[in-house]
Amino acid sequence: MTTLVEARRLVGLPDDESGAGWIEVDGDRISDAGRGAPMRTPDVVLDEGILAPGLIDAQINGAFSVDFADADTDEVRGVAERMLSTGVTAMVPTFITATVEHFVEQVSRYDSARRASNASGSATRLLPAHVEGPFLSPRRRGAHREALLVDPTPERVAPLLALADAISYVTLAPEREGALRAIADLVAAGIRVAVGHSDATDDQVRAAADAGATLVTHLYNAQSPFHHRAPGVVGAALTDPRLTVGVIVDGHHVEPAAVRLAFAAAAGRVMLVTDAVAALGMPPGVYELGGDQLEVIAGSPPLRADGTIAGADEPLDANVGHAVDFGIDLVDAIRAATRTPADALGLADLGRIESGARADLVLLGDDLRARTTWLGGTKVWSADGTMQAPGATVASGRF
């Protein structure tokens, strides 16, 4: 049995438009979708808000007082459940610089928790991890511990290769000794590579892309800036069509003009990420990131004791809203939090509204904050408190 849903505003179809549309859901998949009015009387009409694919956060360190670096199975599951309230239906937990041995321990523990949580089908989908370090530049280390930064020798990369099924991507600085070989080895194992926390020249970034790198971690932050005679990481990121660039649009990390520049220069390649820490969804206070304490003061991003910005505390739906406030087209902003990260991570059935895609959806209010979230056609969170029982489908009439 299928369910036909009509929406006053629908974003996420291949036409990259915003307007009236419809979705037909069969089980946990979209069986058909289109623009305009459906051919038959719909089962459900959404006459308010914007229906879009579920949001995908490709870089998140923690949330709701939990740091993924030391989270147990219950804590990981708890974050995955609560992230539904932000419209995020899939996410990539991030683990910042540690020793390689510690990374193996952290990622292995997380992967067990990930598989257990995903088996339930009623929490945000947990994707394989993002390993951010330890192969970073000390000149652009940001909140990462300098004493732990090392070159990506084959011996240090090998344990990560052994965890290929548990790792989505690794962020490294391509100017470090052995980086190009490491990139090639990681990509050959099925692990994507991002350029980040790097003081590289634009030529070094392009060499990294030649070796297989396809991502840039938090554009503008912790990387060599653009100069007209030394384009750096930023220049390469904005002009190399092989690179998808993550951008934190929380109102603190990147100024509005720089956000507009990124969307204009790298059209279709911008991926909104939160880089959120344990402070997301929590009041001002003291939280942890990779074992270091951070202080959050109302109106400011999380800060280390030395004043360095360390991640963020804004959810992804808020980042979409900021992007639109900064002058980014609504469809482009939503695509940057849905289809673009899905494509960058090789998730062909997420982040889009088309036949065969998973029916992971979010209804955004006019303020672009999440109002209702569905996973595989099941309503799993609603701002008004109405939810389906676990395992119920849209065919039950409660979409």
pLDDT in single tens digits along all 399 residues of the chain: 799 999 999 999 999 999 999 999 999 999 999 999 999 999 999 999 999 999 999 999 999 999 999 999 999 999 999 999 999 999 999 999 999 999 999 999 999 999 999 998 899 999 999 999 999 999 999 889 999 999 999 999 999 999 999 999 999 999 999 999 999 999 999 999 999 999 999 999 999 999 999 999 999 999 999 999 999 999 999 999 999 999 999 999 999 999 999 999 999 999 999 999 999 999 999 998 877 788 888 888 898 888 888 889 999 999 999 999 999 999 999 999 999 999 999 999 999 999 999 999 999 999 999 999 999 999 999 998 865 544 444 444 446
pLDDT at 399: 67
pLDDT at 395: 40
Q: Are strands 192-195 and 215-216 parallel, antiparallel or unpaired?
A: parallel
- Look at phi and psi of residue 15 and say left if phi exceeds 0, alpha if psi is from -120 to 50, else beta: alpha
Measured between alpha carbons, how far is residue 362 from residues 89, 207, 288, 313, 368 in Å? 8, 39, 30, 21, 10
User: CA-to-CA distance for 304 and 308, rounded, in angstroms?
Assistant: 5
User: CA-to-CA distance for 213 and 186, rounded, in angstroms?
Assistant: 9
SS3 of the chain: the string is: CEEEEEEEEECCCCCCCCEEEEEEEECCEEEEEEECCCCCCCCEEECCCEEEECEEEEEECEECCEEHHHCCHHHHHHHHHHHHHHCEEEEEEEEECCCHHHHHHHHHHHHHHHHHHHCCCCCCEECCEEEECCCCCHHHCCCCCHHHCCCCCHHHHHHHHCCHHHEEEEEECCCCCCHHHHHHHHHHCCCEEEECCECCCHHHHHHHHHHCCCEECCCCCCECCCECCECHHHHHHHHCCCCEEEECCCCCCCCHHHHHHHHHHCCCCEEECCCECCCCCCCCEEEEECCEEEEECCCCCCECCCCCECCECCCHHHHHHHHHHCCCCHHHHHHCCCHHHHHHCCCCCCCCCCCCCECCEEEECCCCCEEEEEECCEEEEECCCCCCCCCCCHHHCCC
**Among candidate residues 124, 46, 56, the one with its CA nearest the CA of residue 320:** 56
pLDDT at 391: 42
User: CA-to-CA distance for 336 and 55, rounded, in angstroms?
Assistant: 9
C-alpha torsion sign, points 313, 241, 224, 265: negative
| Total-model pTM | 0.95
Domains of the chain are: 2-52+352-396 (2.30.40.10), 55-344 (3.20.20.140)
Q: Supply 102's token pair.
A: 């510690």
How many beta carbons lie within 10 A of that of residue 297, not counting itself? 10
pLDDT at 38: 93
Q: Which residues, other chains included, contact 363 with Cβ-Cβ below 8 Å and sequence gap of 6+?
A: 46, 49, 50, 51, 52, 370, 371, 372, 373
The interaxial angle of helices 256-265 and 316-325, nearest 10 deg, is 90
384 is catalytic: no
**Among candidate residues 67, 65, 71, the one with its CA nearest the CA of residue 109:** 71
Instruction: Out of 43, 185, 275, 313, pick the active-site residue.
Output: 275
How many beta carbons lie within 10 A of that of residue 284, not counting itself? 14
pLDDT at 389: 45
First to last CA, the chain: 13
